[in-house]
Amino acid sequence: MRFGAHVSIRGHIYEAADRAARLGCECLQIFVGSPRTWREVHYLPDDLAELRRRCRAFGLRPLVAHAAYLVNLSSEGEVFERSVRHLAHALRTVEQAGGLGVVAHLGSRHDLPVSRALKRVAGAVRRALADSDGGWVLLEGSAGRTLGATFEELRAVLDALHGHPRVGVCLDTAHLFAAGWDLRTREGVEATLAAFRDQVGLGRLKLLHLNDSRADLGSGLDRHENIGEGRIGLEGFRAWVNHPELRHLCGVIETPGFDRAGPDRANLRRLKRLRDGRQEP
């Protein structure tokens, strides 16, 4: 498995690659604007080409974007329209920079029945894909309080999109754990992947988020912790990152950091030691 981090695009967007390289990343994730506003940032083609060039030079692959927090693909009215536009814009931006695609949450359904909400998500994804030439939409599994906490819900969106060739899934270890999947042991990891294989299919799994969980098993709460410092623990991550069916993937950390300044070198070093089979992380 290759490891990377969510890094800031402060300054010029291509400086994200320098930041990732300094942390020891092998892949990276960015926002393509401020995650807390709807403002669309249109980058100069030269800046996106420079980001592509730096990722290649530093051996960072893939580059992925994470959709803004305001996006709710199952909403209605203005928020729905803005969410579709944001997703399409993020896809076009990351594609121009040579990236893989955009990670998106399914959203909160509010009063809508689950099946209708999932159809709205599929409709939003279909429109964003139609409005962009390349790049994958990576549907992220949730911790429990929002849509996408079960593999059946992820499957339902994929089914509604009739196996669209640009739709994949991103699994987050902290979300899986909070949603009730016990990743603390090798057996738990096997059981989780067996269910995913059955209900979604490993071919759709394109990206991993590697975060330990401050919240309890099955709590439904999304609380990230540093690798090995949360409820999942090092043995669970050892089994996860070395699993033969996950080894070809990239895992991105969104951990708070040991000095609480965001994803850091120390978390990546831990993961690399687990991957390389060294005893003391």
Interacting residues toward Zn ion by CB under 5 A: 140, 222
For Zn ion, which residue has the nearest CB? 222
* Cβ 222 to Zn ion shortest distance, Å: 4
Residue among 48 and 208 whose Cβ is closer to Zn ion: 208
Residue among 54 and 109 whose Cβ is closer to Zn ion: 109
Residue among 140 and 264 whose Cβ is closer to Zn ion: 140
* Cβ 67 to Zn ion shortest distance, Å: 8
Q: Can you tell me the distance from the alpha carbon of 78 to that of 12, in angstroms, rounded to the nearest whole number?
A: 30
Residue among 215 and 246 whose Cβ is closer to Zn ion: 215
Nearest-CA neighbor of 250 among 63, 73, 103, 24?
Answer: 63
Q: What is the DSSP letter of 43?
A: -
Strand 167-172, strand 205-210: pairing: parallel
* Cβ 8 to Zn ion shortest distance, Å: 16
* Cβ 69 to Zn ion shortest distance, Å: 9
* Count of beta carbons in the 10 Å neighbourhood of residue 39: 9
**Cβ distance 270 to 279 under 8 Å?**
no
Residue among 54 and 87 whose Cβ is closer to Zn ion: 87
Q: Can you tell me the distance from the alpha carbon of 158 to that of 193, in angstroms, rounded to the nearest whole number?
A: 18
Residue among 54 and 206 whose Cβ is closer to Zn ion: 206
Strand 167-172, strand 136-140: pairing: parallel
* Cβ 78 to Zn ion shortest distance, Å: 23
Residue among 95 and 212 whose Cβ is closer to Zn ion: 212
| Surface-to-core class of residue 77, CB atoms within 10 Å of its CB (0-12 exposed, 13-18 middle, 19+ buried) | exposed
* Cβ 53 to Zn ion shortest distance, Å: 27
Sequence-separated (6 or more) residues with CB below 8 Å from residue 229: 212
* Cβ 172 to Zn ion shortest distance, Å: 6
- 42-68 residues labelled b (16+ CB within 10 A) or e (exposed): ebeeeebebbbebbeebebbbbbbbbb
Helix (H, G, I), strand (E, B) or coil at 64: strand
Nearest-CA neighbor of 63 among 74, 54, 75?
Answer: 54
Q: Can you tell me the distance from the alpha carbon of 65 to that of 128, in angstroms, rounded to the nearest whole number?
A: 14
**Residue 206, token pair as written in the block:** 């394109």
* Cβ 107 to Zn ion shortest distance, Å: 12
Residue among 26 and 140 whose Cβ is closer to Zn ion: 140
